[in-house]
Amino acid sequence: MHRLLLFLSLIPLLVALVLRKLNADRVLRLARETRLQITGEKLARKMLDSTGHQDVEINTTKRRWAGAAVIGEDWISLPTDHANGKSAYDHGQAALRVGLFLISLRGQSAISRRRWALRFGHVFPIFTTIVCIFGLVVAKLPALWVLSVVMGALGLAACAQILTVSTNMQAAALAAVVLEKKRTLPRLSEEEA
């Protein structure tokens, strides 16, 4: 039984790894090398101003927990490195936050599900690992069961975080529409980056 659990938990982990390798790594490497003229915070401000949300405050944070709220009713939180960065990656993260903010204005349910999945994906495997280690120390759980349960928790967390991709894709598409329609960036080459 523990072998079946172990094999079934490896499937979402492998899917997440393959999706990351095929889609993200190549694009992220190129995006970190491409430099633009303005900072990520200025881009976010221009996007918000062009959509009529001048009253939205942009907060910069030094540290952030992945499950922490990144948007509110009248604020957006950007990490300091993305707010001050001039790479296409930093601009993409700032535009994604603006897209998430615009989606939250339509309905809060997608953003709430995303926040829950991110928090669950970070907390559940740690909690499960701690419980399993205690079970192993008091000799109530065999080592293979501990490994299987921990891998199952990681697989479940990977599934939860894969489900956030749809919200991120909607936010990215909305941000791209705002960038294209409102002509936020002055140069076409920067808009394409």
Q: Where are the domains of the chain?
A: 2-183
Q: In terms of C-beta density within 10 A (0-12 exposed, 13-18 middle, 19 or more buried), how is residue 106 classed?
A: exposed
pTM for this prediction: 0.77
E runs forming strands in 9-151: 57-61, 75-79
Asked if residue 36 has pLDDT above 70, the reply is yes
E runs forming strands in the chain: 57-61, 75-79
Centre a 10 Å sphere on the Cβ of residue 84 and count the other Cβ atoms it contains: 14
What is the tens place of the pLDDT at every residue in 126-164?
A: 999 999 999 989 988 888 888 888 988 988 888 888 888
What pLDDT score was predicted for residue 18? Answer: 79
The residue ranking higher by pLDDT, 119 or 72, is 119
Comparing 30-34, 58-62, 85-89, the range with the smallest average pLDDT is 30-34
What pLDDT score was predicted for residue 165? Answer: 83
